[in-house]
Amino acid sequence: MKPPGAPGLPVLGNALRMMGDVQQFLVDTHRQMGPIFRVRALNQAFVIMAGERANRFLLERGDEVFSSEESFGGLNREFGMRVHVLRGRPHRHLRKVLATGLSRELLAARWDDVVAETERALGEWPGQPALPVVDRCQRLAAAQLSVAFTGASSAARFDTLRSAFELVLDVTIAGKWPPVALKRPAYRRARAEIHEFARAALAERAAQPRGETPDLLDRALEATDENGKIYPLEVRAGMALQGYFAGINTVAYLYSFMLYALLAHPDVLERVTAEVDRAYAGGKLDFAGLRDLPALHGLVLETLRVYPPAPGSARTAIADFDFEGFRVERGQRVLVATSVPHQLAEHFPDPERFDIDRDFVAGRRASVYAPFSVGSHTCLGAGMTEVLAVATMAMLVRGLTFTMPDRPLRITATPGPNPGKRFTVAAARR
Ligand code: HEM
């Protein structure tokens, strides 16, 4: 039997809610319809699988019945980011290669440069009555990640990188625009510029090796496939771009939601500030000390629970299968709504309460806490993101104070859920 259809508008279907607070839509519809249902967004139809058993299904059977080609193929075709679409041994191999270039160790090695870049960016925040938080966090995250991964700032290319990556995501994953949008001359120019940028960075590194801890560029330069053959240049360029691509959206959305959560919960802000001031007692924040900031770490994990920047894994069924008594047919697009359990009281008691002291370890173990998804395509940047988010919030709280207008948060998905352009604050030096 086909999964039941979620109620929606004629023509638009569920598009409006999916372009807004998509996580809330998934949670509400799961409550109403159960663990599997169909949604429509304009001309796209998805089966949504949600809840603890859906996450377990993705973890245990994802490789066997799903492909990521339709959802993520655009990233591979347009920018050589192949890890998203590979399967089996070639996938496991490329993940291993990439993991060496996206590691926390690299962040540790580049720590002083990342701190300097962060302080430079945050130094520009005070003095504006309505600072656009998402935009500033995108610039900050892109700058931090590019310094960590490549040793150089990408600030000059930021607008080009952001517009091209967002368009690809909107076309391929969100299905907001038809594929013909990728033929627009402005996009083709931006894409060509990004290709040139990645290739030039690799060529420069080949000509002038840095010599210390190998970074993402070093790893990409020498990367060989599972048969020992050097990857094509486009794939190595895609590896070099992978860090910027991830940071421009997800990490920035996380920072923005964390700032919102701090300002919306003064008790949390007070605890976090006291913890940060203790950490700065020696005059500066050192990398080793970041492990010892439980309130801040709780803030990162609770923000990811309540406001997951990537609340689902988009796939296509490559075989017919049954789930919870319903049949999903080969070719059907599926979204496993991996963060729906975050809002279910059986896994997170009193889920509406913002509580930085929850037991995230148990949630993670049971695959019901899944802001980075579960299974073979789990996020490769999760470890680094958590450390970087702790560090960034520490620097932010240490240096600045904020006021935000008394306006309700309005989440919008462009392409992932974020607080949108309307979320502004005024920052002052502390
Ligand atoms: C808040 C920050 C982040 C969130 C919420 C996030 C979330 C995710 C999710 C949900 C996936 C799985 C996608 C799927 O199921 O197909 C994923 C994959 C991935 N992420 Fe992240 N991510 C974040 C930051 C980062 C960063 C900073 C990097 C790189 C430095 C990164 C690199 C990757 C890569 C390479 C994959 C693909 C892995 C594969 O397909 O095998 N992510 N991320």
CATH number at residue 326: 3.30.43.20
Rounded to whole angstroms, the Cα distance separating 94 from 90 reads 6
238 in contact with ligand 1, CB cutoff 6 A: no
Rounded to whole angstroms, the Cα distance separating 3 from 357 reads 37
312 in contact with ligand 1, CB cutoff 6 A: no
From 105, 372, 386, 388, the mutation candidate for ligand 1 (largest count of ligand atoms within 8 A of CB) is 372
Residue 417's DSSP bridge partners are 413
Asked if residue 138 is part of any domain, the answer here is: no
347: Cα within 13 Å, side-chain hemisphere? 21
Asked if residue 342 is part of any domain, the answer here is: yes
What's the whole-number mean pLDDT along residues 144-158?
A: 84
Q: Using one digit for the tens of pLDDT, what is the confidence trace for 219-233? A: 999 999 999 999 999
Domain of residue 333: give its range. Answer: 1-80+311-354
Number of domains in the chain: 1
Residue nearest to atom 24 of ligand 1 (CA): 381
3 in contact with ligand 1, CB cutoff 6 A: no
Nearest to 398 by CA among 276, 293, 286: 276
Asked if residue 369 is part of any domain, the answer here is: no
Give 158's pLDDT tier (boundaries 50, 70, 90): confident
Asked if residue 243 is part of any domain, the answer here is: no
Asked if residue 293 is part of any domain, the answer here is: no
Q: Please tell me the pTM assigned to this model.
A: 0.96
The answer on pLDDT for 175 being more than 80 is no
The answer on pLDDT for 112 being more than 90 is yes
What kind and span of H or E run contains 295?
helix 294-306
Rounded to whole angstroms, the Cα distance separating 78 from 190 reads 11
The answer on pLDDT for 381 being more than 80 is yes
247 in contact with ligand 1, CB cutoff 6 A: yes
Average pLDDT over the chain, rounded to an integer: 92
* Confidence at residue 311, expressed as pLDDT on a 0 to 100 scale: 95
What's the whole-number mean pLDDT along residues 322-340?
A: 97
Range with lowest mean pLDDT among 12-21, 140-149, 275-284, 315-324? 12-21
Q: Using one digit for the tens of pLDDT, what is the confidence trace for 342-355? A: 999 999 999 999 99
Backbone angles phi, psi at 405, to 5 degrees: -60, 150
Asked if residue 14 is part of any domain, the answer here is: yes
Q: Which atom of ligand 1 is nearest to the CA of 247?
A: 27
Nearest to 261 by CA among 373, 423, 382, 90: 423
54 in contact with ligand 1, CB cutoff 6 A: no
Q: Using one digit for the tens of pLDDT, what is the confidence trace for 89-104? A: 999 999 999 998 888 8
Interhelix angle 233-246/158-172, rounded to 10 degrees, is 100
Kindly report the number of other CB atoms within 10 A of residue 67's CB atom.
Answer: 17
97 in contact with ligand 1, CB cutoff 6 A: no
Asked if residue 46 is part of any domain, the answer here is: yes
* Confidence at residue 11, expressed as pLDDT on a 0 to 100 scale: 64
257 in contact with ligand 1, CB cutoff 6 A: no
Asked if residue 31 is part of any domain, the answer here is: yes
Residues 6 or more apart from 390 whose CB is under 8 A from it? 290, 293, 296, 297, 300
254 in contact with ligand 1, CB cutoff 6 A: yes
The answer on pLDDT for 307 being more than 90 is yes
CA of 247 to the centre of ligand 1 (A): 9
231: Cα within 13 Å, side-chain hemisphere? 26
From 299, 379, 386, 418, the mutation candidate for ligand 1 (largest count of ligand atoms within 8 A of CB) is 379
